[in-house]
Structure 1
Amino acid sequence: MYSIDRKFADDSELRVEFIATSPAENTLFANVLASCSFNIISGTHTCSHGTVFTNILDQYFEGINMKHIMFVSPFLWNIDDLLFDDRTITWLMALPISEKELEYLRNNGSDQLEQLFEEQQIDFYDLNRPDVVFR
């Protein structure tokens, strides 16, 4: 958990924890999350819903269709924020996306891309899944 430089009106901090799911054979996926965390700690990135860390999957997996991580609300779990006097900790799920999906996101926004994911019931476990069908 690390500060993402966001504060509430009462000056308490908003912090984020990453969560993801991956098949057991993708043992390097934990390293992907660690790299995402390091990007925030080092100050090179910030993170919120819809943020994309580009080309991060390429660092650990070769020859896959999914190249990037987009952060979304953790729709697989019913996880509440953790509330403390001086901070709130929320959760973001790391969701792999392709180059074409990133381009769609840049043109249409993360909410529209998430809607396509939901409509088409993507297999987000599969790092080599086909791109969503764009309208």
Structure 2
Amino acid sequence: MLEVLRVLAGFESSWDWNAGRDTTNPNSNTACTEEAGIFQCSGDSMNFDRSLRNLLRLVAGNTECNTFRSVFKSNHTFAIEYCARLLRFTINHHGPIKRKEIHPWLKLEAVAEFEQFLSNEG
């Protein structure tokens, strides 16, 4: 999952934690459809599962879309966890995944490196 997130972040925002609205997306025109952060998630993604909304409420105290965008940019732990959870419910929220554009860039070596790190921790 970490390798998928690493590559997705490169495609979505060039690894920019503070990336804002996708100006090429005509549907990015409301507080809840405007993308934010490294994974370019929008507040309407909370509709995929109640647990996503609950995560934001736990972290930020409310589930408003303006709060979502702000927290998604500033709280990197939240952004990673949120996107990983979102991918469990749908791959259709992220065009590069849905269109299989990230597949050639996923590297087994990166996964092996992470697995080695985890085995050294134990």
Normalization by structure 2: what TM-score? Answer: 0.32
TM-score (norm 1): 0.30
Q: Counting strand residues as a fraction of each chain, which structure ranks higher?
A: 1
Instruction: Give the number of the structure whose residues are more often helix, by fraction.
Output: 2
